[in-house]
Structure 1
Amino acid sequence: MFRFLKPVILAVVLGAGAQLSAQEYPQLFDVVDVAADDVLNIRQAPSASSDVVGNFAADATGIEVIMLNSTQRWGLVNMDESTGWVFMRYLSGQGQPIDHYNMPVGLRCFGTEPFWSLHSDGGVWQYDSMDGTSAELEIEIAQDSGIAQDFRRMVRLSGPDGAGTAFIYPAMCNDGMSDRAYGVSISLMTGPATPLLSGCCSLSQ
């Protein structure tokens, strides 16, 4: 059973009279400015004095930062079956913003009860479940909100069961089986008469 946690803070004030714009998280980052014989520590809490619970190699890439802490200096990341915090000074964004009319780069989604997975291959989603069901879902429309860097997409699909729909949106999500956290959630129907599935999504492959 998925647990939906405290919502991600979606907007920041850009200035007096400016419109609100979604934060660019989650996003993928690479480790930078760490000596080749050193590592980037993952800490239990967003503090340099907090216990070290893991690390990334000096050349690690594709690290998904789920959200920032209140000071914007530490980023929440997944490791093994839990989460930790890394100092953002040593991470550099891959420069893959979420653009209009397209799905977030590298998106994959999954759920439990029942177990299922979904990954994107161009304009097609590959859907698989543990009961042996497998289907290619063609993306007909992935409508965005018109707000820059906004993950939200209302998706219309075409598959073997007929027309399907999906809603992708920023919300802290947990798979209910570990302490890992995810910053994007999904509600999915693979066809017009299929059950509504709920799950989490990640940019990390």
Structure 2
Amino acid sequence: MLRILITIAALCFAGSAAAQDFPAVHHVTGVANHDVLNIRAEPSARADIVGSFGPHERGIEVVGLSPDRRWGLVRSGEGVGWSSMRYLTPQRTGSWQDGTQHLTCFGTEPFWSFNLFMPSNRAEFEDLGMGGFEVRSNAPHHNITRHPATMALRFNGARQGFAVIRQGVCSDGMSDRLFGLETQIYWQGAREGFSGCCTLTP
């Protein structure tokens, strides 16, 4: 039931124009050196604590906001939870669509990973069947749409193909973790593509 509520809350926020700013990487601010920033099971100060961040922790990916925008959906170990946005500050300006942020995409059945080293156009794909190879994307001169927020990248080099990355609550299928970006990847000559999630944090 908690997972359903989390998903609904994140999707509610994803419907607004400001949702293009999420997911985004944040760091903890305003927490005393001897204290922690709690991660809670629901977006409420009365909800159970499921984890915590240190007072100087960085690289926290906020997937989306609660409807009142006071709480951010974050990952905690193999699960997810909510932290107060009062103590989370963006580590950089801009949007995940601007083609300047490293993206790590991955999926299961089969297991695969795709590292997009933006703002360069270098990318590395690896899966059990094809092995690993390097390609070049058209980033940062890629295509986007605003509503809904998507980004499309073309690849050439060792293989030719394209990927569409879109904002949406995504599960890795192996844990209770949620991600803020989902992707589909297609290689030329291959009838079946790959579906998975992407994160802004390595």
Matched, 1:115 2:111: yes
Matched, 1:198 2:195: yes
* Consecutive aligned runs of 4 or more in structure 1 exceeding 6 Å deviation: none
Q: Partners of 1:71 and 1:60 in 2: how far apart?
A: 24
Structure 2 residue identity aligned to 1:107:
L
Matched, 1:37 2:34: yes
Q: Partners of 1:171 and 1:183 in 2: how far apart?
A: 5
Q: Partners of 2:196 and 2:99 in 1: how far apart?
A: 16
% identity of equivalent residues = 35
Structure 2 residue identity aligned to 1:142:
H
Q: Partners of 1:64 and 1:167 in 2: how far apart?
A: 20
**Shift of the alpha carbon at 1:190?**
3.0
Root-mean-square deviation (Å): 2.2
2:152 to 146, 151, 154: 154
Matched, 1:73 2:70: yes
Query: Could you say which structure has the greater relative contact order, defined with CA pairs below 8 angstroms and 6 or more residues apart?
Result: 1
Retained in 2: the 8 A contact 1:98–1:151?
Answer: no
Q: Partners of 1:158 and 1:42 in 2: how far apart?
A: 42
User: How many residues are matched?
Assistant: 190
- Which structure has greater helix proportion? 2
Q: Could you say what secondary structure the match of 1:23 adopts?
A: helix
Q: Which runs of 5+ in 2 are unaligned?
A: 1-6
Q: Which moved more, 1:77-86 or 1:22-31?
A: 22-31
Q: Partners of 2:101 and 2:189 in 1: how far apart?
A: 27
**TM-score (norm: length of structure 1):** 0.84
Structure 1 residue identity aligned to 2:196:
G
**TM-score (norm: length of structure 2):** 0.85
2:168 to 155, 167, 171: 171
Structure 1 residue identity aligned to 2:80:
T
